[in-house]
Structure 1
């Protein structure tokens, strides 16, 4: 299993693009792998024949470095190649740091699953078993304590579950039973593992397994709200001049097949505002503060598997037509799960636009390690003071969420003020 992103520790083998017996060469696509961010294609680095597919497609939680298939070398008899059996072993890493990481993972796994006792584990004791074996046993209702492990040091692996029947654990010995802690509060009926959150199963419902992307979103946003003190600053912005300019620009760009969206112009305006207010273009590191000298704007895109933020690099200094072209390409591939890691990892600040859904105003959660995110609502006709007289204008609300550890309210207010001025006088940021 390859590491397809810097943060990837495990992945889902979504689909095999080859079958046993197929010949492959360097660069051929072998499989589609779902990482913690996207679904990516895995390419062969050597040529040969696919001798054995070890991990079937659809398998979750495959550790980076685990053997997922065996390729026979040129001239080697594919049928004679010995494929790993049972639990996949970690594959050799490319460099020392990766090897150290693999060894650390093995050590942590051993800590979590103490060695099985020679005479079998008593009730209440932990049984030494691989994570995959534990999951399969839970699904099939098999008691691990009733099995003998064939893995290293008696560890129970997947192969040991084959042919095993579901059943209750052996009765605990009297002496061992006496040592057990007092009974806890009644637990839900056993269905493999106790549920962390209770819900009413009597209500008609369906249960869907979380994708790796959704798991990552849940983890990162929980961390963001728990660890980052958010401060929210909202401004109302008149859009009439921006909409007029957009219409004129689109007439000129029509022959080139480019059509600017309002969001394209807002990305550009945010990039210019960030470069002009560098105190808001930062990352908080605890004892240090990183100030970026370029505005790379992450743009929130909704996909079938969850939210992802492809990046417009150097948004302040590239043309609107280039921003538009890049966004259409990035958004399209994001929804297909085809983004490369460098296209969504990084960024110095984010923008999230829910105006197309008619949302008037909302507060977005900061995307760590960035220091701010801009939430944009819908443009709508509102009563508005124009030239000291009450009139009607197209107005939108924009809310900046700022990391108050790194960005003072006054600095955030300065960015929001400048962003408002740029949008209301758009010739100032396209020049």
Structure 2
């Protein structure tokens, strides 16, 4: 999820921690909401509001930051469990509502990994509330802060245990159903639960004029839809490799080639991107968009190396489903496919993947007892 909309703030246990811009958008709103409920929260903690120092808005801001810190710990529990069980984690991103752990390779048991987050949140919540009661008489400020942090963690753990995809409870439900009906059908059922809960959240949000609940309903609904599509896409692509579906290169482009020549080759070979190669390795990529930005009368004087942008590489042996995560990022409309030593052999675009899915659907169903046949894409590098 690394892009212009996120920025890296830390690395914990080798896992990059990023913040999405939507986090900064919602932070003042959450601070205001917490500030408005300051008096009620103090009474819930058993502390008279007048004994607490500081203005409500400052407490609201502190509690909003504490909520996202709790979300970070929750996601770290998922990620660290995955790493300990042989999974690989690309990073954690804090979003407008909640967070997401980006897994390059999930562990064997998704259900146990899903439970790690809520279990951690609930354990922390109980511990914080217990500590808060010890200091309630002598240190009201500390007691209130710790008590509210415990409440946030209890709410976070319980909310995520709802059997609504893409929340953790929905992932546990999918894990239980997968054993009987396979990942695609299990995901569809868990996604239906997620959409159902999202509708309920939206109705409650409208009835109570709760904007935060409306935002949660939107995120849950979009997450359920997106996860269902992702699983169906993975099922359609199977174990196809990038080299199987990439558009092969017929020639190489040098940094000294003019854009006039590049445009001519693009028209003849019906390509929209070429890797720029120097001394046998990729030094950049030139896209049709970059060529169009240069006036036609100047293309004979501008060189490919002058407009080339940094290329994103993918090994021919990588799985297509993994490459799709990179293709979805801004600034990576096409990947340059390379083999050992970094020699470019092709490019991969969304169009290549869509074509692969369509052709894969034409394959005949497997015959019982027959030996498995090779995939129809044989352009292996």
- Which structure has the larger Rg? 1
More helix by percentage: 2
Larger RCO (CA under 8 A, 6+ residues apart): 1
Greater share of strand: 1
